[in-house]
């Protein structure tokens, strides 16, 4: 399903659905018969109201899914605040012509050149204007606005005068464009047609005073014969203009006027947004129940509305332009005078009564069918709205699931960060304890070295005394040496015991230091493992919740779509029944 979209430029600001929620509604009204096109933008209370000022340039683009077409160019005329927001009213650049008044005489100029000059003085560009009629002399004065003068030139030349979506002035005769196809029952929401006698069946044109019938390049003199031109019914519309100086021009003006105004078939189409439908574009209606509605038509008015329950809609007024040749007969034959009615017979009265009853029944059937079609259209609208709402709710559930999942992951990062910090702290403590152990061991090694030196010294004394005893011959001296030997042996034993004690203390200190390091590492690792386990549990729970949320959203969307599909099937069956009823009523 296509999503309506827009792009609005207000001064230096660009507003799109993705960048703002201030826009409540948009209405663009374009018409050939109205001098100034109007665009109204409804906004909520917010900073946008204060940022917009009178005179800001405005352009509006409308479309679907971001593929937009420009439909209006102009400027801000007013900002009208209300309780809940404001209405920004914008006018097309034709307002420059409506405010401009000039005095100028043009000699031997074509209408297109005059239009370009006047528009240029008002600050407007004209896009490839037609030449139109040529005038020996044409007077512009300030009794009328520039727009009024240009409108008269357009009427005389049979041209349309309007501003396109880019803000360029158009002065051209209507020619069929590449048609925009609109199909009944698919693009078209509603359609109506009016076929009447043309309000203009003939035109007579006269100059200001009798002059020449020999062309506009001859000398003129007063004549007793009234000079002028005509087309169609002799009792038609009367035009007088001092710029018309010869019969050829008068005849051409008559044909131009009749071709623009002798319209007998017109209508209105309401369709799902048609941004490419502009003034004087061509639309092609297909498959309408009334054969008169089918065909190619000229667009004379477009109203685009954006917002509300219906989204983007376009109301298009169209006409079928008549073709008028130089030898055109009266457009509408004068109706014959009817014969006086005769009194109907009994059978004729009964037959007429039966016809009336049949027509009443038919009209009742048509009303019932119209009501059924309206109900079906409402049903289709509600189905479309339901599908949109389901998509929105499913998207909302997924967004909430994504947010909860991200929040859980963020919560899991905290214990992981704690674990990383504990591990780093453990490494620092381990390195510190190793340094302390190394220092203690070095201190013990110093004591051991002193004890080892003492043992070596005692062993040396002991050995020296033994040698002396071995070489001594005197008995008395031998006793003294034996005493000294015994003392040396005692000192040696004591030194060795001291050395063994130091070795035991070194071994004990080393084992205790290593055990303390291991215990500290074990405790820290337990805290690290607990932190990681907490993080893993949080992540697992988050993934499980996220999976459940996605499954819930998918299941809800599937069930809703199944229900909507059933409704669509019911709609199709009902639509077929209605179309069959229309055939029975002779509407197909």
Nearest to 491 by CA among 466, 462, 448, 449: 462
Selection from 173-177, 249-253, 486-490 with the highest mean pLDDT: 173-177
Selection from 58-62, 420-424, 495-499 with the highest mean pLDDT: 58-62
Mean pLDDT for the stretch of residues 23-31: 94
Please determine, for residue 21, whether its predicted confidence score (pLDDT) is greater than 50. Answer: yes
Write down the pTM of the prediction: 0.54
CA–CA distance, 30 with 39 (Å, rounded to integer): 9
Mean pLDDT for the stretch of residues 237-250: 80
Q: What is the pLDDT of residues 167-219, one digit of tens each?
A: 999 999 999 999 999 999 889 999 999 988 777 767 777 765 444 444 555 44
**Measured at the alpha carbon of residue 492, what is the angle toward residues 488 and 493, in degrees to the nearest 5?**
120
CA–CA distance, 184 with 275 (Å, rounded to integer): 18
Please determine, for residue 304, whether its predicted confidence score (pLDDT) is greater than 80. Answer: yes
Which comes out higher in pLDDT, residue 588 or 335?
Answer: 588
**pLDDT score recorded for residue 262:** 76
CA–CA distance, 233 with 332 (Å, rounded to integer): 8
CA–CA distance, 432 with 574 (Å, rounded to integer): 86
**pLDDT score recorded for residue 330:** 43
Please determine, for residue 223, whether its predicted confidence score (pLDDT) is greater than 50. Answer: no
The torsion defined by the Cα of 454, 458, 463 and 466, in degrees rounded to 10, comes to 180
Residue 377, classed as helix, strand or coil, is helix
Contact 527, 422 (CB under 8 A): yes
CA–CA distance, 82 with 39 (Å, rounded to integer): 18
Q: What is the pLDDT of residues 511-522, one digit of tens each?
A: 887 888 888 878
**pLDDT score recorded for residue 63:** 93
Which comes out higher in pLDDT, residue 32 or 500?
Answer: 32
Give me the percent of the chain exceeding a pLDDT of 70: 88
**pLDDT score recorded for residue 471:** 67
DSSP per residue, 56-90: -EEEEEEEETTEEEEEEEEEEEEEEE-SSEEEEEE
Please determine, for residue 575, whether its predicted confidence score (pLDDT) is greater than 50. Answer: yes
Average pLDDT value over all residues in the chain: 82
CA–CA distance, 107 with 127 (Å, rounded to integer): 23
- The arrangement of strands across the sheet holding 228-232 comes to 228-232, 202-206, 237-240
Mean pLDDT for the stretch of residues 396-422: 79
**pLDDT score recorded for residue 273:** 94
Contact 93, 74 (CB under 8 A): yes
Nearest to 312 by CA among 579, 63, 85, 16: 63
Nearest to 139 by CA among 102, 88, 164: 102
Mean pLDDT for the stretch of residues 155-162: 93
**pLDDT score recorded for residue 220:** 46
List of E strands, 141-179:
160-163, 169-172
DSSP per residue, 457-525: HHHHHHHHHHHHHHH---HHHHHHHHHHHHHHHHHHHHHHHHHHHHHHHHHHHHHHHHHHHHHHHHHHH
**pLDDT score recorded for residue 152:** 93
Mean pLDDT for the stretch of residues 301-326: 86
Residue partners of 103: CB distance under 8 A and separation at least 6: 140, 141, 142
Residue partners of 360: CB distance under 8 A and separation at least 6: none
Q: What is the pLDDT of residues 346-378, one digit of tens each?
A: 777 788 788 788 878 877 777 787 777 777 777
**Measured at the alpha carbon of residue 137, what is the angle toward residues 211 and 170, in degrees to the nearest 5?**
125
Residue partners of 86: CB distance under 8 A and separation at least 6: 42, 43, 45, 49, 79, 80
Please determine, for residue 337, whether its predicted confidence score (pLDDT) is greater than 50. Answer: no
**pLDDT score recorded for residue 478:** 64
CA–CA distance, 451 with 499 (Å, rounded to integer): 5
Contact 466, 486 (CB under 8 A): no
Which comes out higher in pLDDT, residue 55 or 495?
Answer: 55
Bridge-based pairing of strands 104-110 and 85-92 is unpaired
Give the helix, strand, coil percentages of the chain, each rounded to 5.
50, 25, 25
CA–CA distance, 81 with 90 (Å, rounded to integer): 14
Other Cβ atoms closer than 10 A to 154: 24
């Amino acid at each position: 399903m296509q999503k309506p979209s827009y792009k609005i430029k207000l001064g230096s600001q660009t507003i799109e659905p993705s960048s703002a929620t201030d826009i409540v509604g948009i209405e663009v009204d374009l018409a050939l018969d109205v001098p100034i096109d109007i665009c109204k933008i409804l906004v909520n209370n917010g900073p946008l109201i204060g940022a917009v000022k009178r005179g800001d340039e405005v352009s509006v683009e409308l479309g679907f899914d971001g593929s937009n077409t420009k439909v209006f160019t102009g400027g801000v005329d007013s900002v009208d605040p209300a309780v809940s927001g404001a209405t920004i009213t914008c006018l097309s650049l034709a307002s420059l012509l409506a405010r401009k008044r000039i005095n100028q005489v043009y000699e031997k100029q074509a209408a297109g050149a005059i239009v370009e000059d006047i528009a240029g003085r008002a600050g407007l560009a004209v896009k490839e204007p037609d030449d139109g009629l040529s005038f020996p002399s044409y007077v512009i004065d300030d009794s009328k606005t520039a727009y009024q003068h240009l409108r008269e030139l357009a009427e005389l030349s049979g041209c349309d005068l309007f501003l396109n979506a880019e803000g360029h002035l158009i002065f051209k005769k209507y020619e069929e464009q590449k048609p925009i196809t609109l199909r009944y029952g698919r693009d078209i929401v509603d359609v109506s047609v009016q076929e009447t006698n043309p309000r203009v069946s003939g035109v007579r044109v006269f100059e200001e005073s009798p002059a020449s019938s020999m062309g506009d390049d001859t000398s003129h003199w007063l004549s007793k014969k009234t000079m002028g031109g005509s087309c169609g019914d002799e009792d038609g519309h009367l035009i007088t203009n001092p710029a018309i100086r010869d019969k050829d021009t008068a005849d051409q003006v008559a044909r131009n006027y009749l071709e623009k105004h002798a319209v007998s078939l017109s209508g209105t189409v309401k369709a799902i947004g048609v941004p490419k439908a502009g003034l004087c574009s061509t639309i092609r209606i297909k498959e309408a129940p009334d054969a008169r509605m089918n065909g190619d038509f000229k667009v004379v008015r477009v109203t685009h509305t954006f917002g509300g329950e219906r989204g983007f809609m376009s109301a298009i007024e169209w006409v079928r332009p008549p073709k008028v040749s130089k030898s055109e007969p009266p457009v509408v034959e004068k109706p014959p005078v009817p014969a006086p009615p005769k009194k109907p017979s009994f059978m004729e009265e009964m037959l007429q009564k039966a016809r009336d009853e049949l027509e009443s029944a038919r009209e009742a059937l048509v009303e019932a069918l119209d009501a059924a079609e309206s109900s079906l259209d409402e049903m289709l609208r509600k189905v479309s709205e339901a599908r949109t709402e389901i998509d929105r709710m499913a998207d909302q559930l997924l967004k909430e699931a994504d947010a909860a999942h991200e929040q859980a992951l963020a919560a899991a990062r905290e214990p992981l960060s704690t674990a990383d910090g504990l591990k780093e702290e453990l490494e620092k403590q381990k390195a510190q304890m190793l340094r302390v152990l190394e220092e203690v061991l070095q201190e013990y090694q110093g004591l051991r070295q002193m004890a080892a030196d003492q043992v070596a010294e005692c062993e040396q004394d002991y050995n020296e005394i033994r040698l002396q005893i071995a070489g001594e011959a005197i008995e008395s001296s031998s006793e003294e040496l034996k005493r000294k030997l015994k003392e040396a042996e005692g000192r040696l034993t004591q030194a060795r015991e001291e050395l063994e004690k130091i070795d035991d203390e070194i071994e004990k200190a080393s084992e205790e230091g290593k055990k303390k390091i291991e215990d500290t590492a074990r405790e820290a690792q337990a805290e690290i493992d607990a932190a990681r386990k907490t993080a893993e549990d949080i992540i697992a729970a988050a993934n499980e919740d996220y999976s459940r949320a996605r499954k819930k959203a998918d299941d809800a969307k599937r069930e809703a779509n199944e229900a909507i599909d059933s409704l669509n099937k019911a709609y199709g069956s009902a639509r077929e029944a209605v179309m069959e009823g229309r055939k029975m009523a002779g509407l197909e």
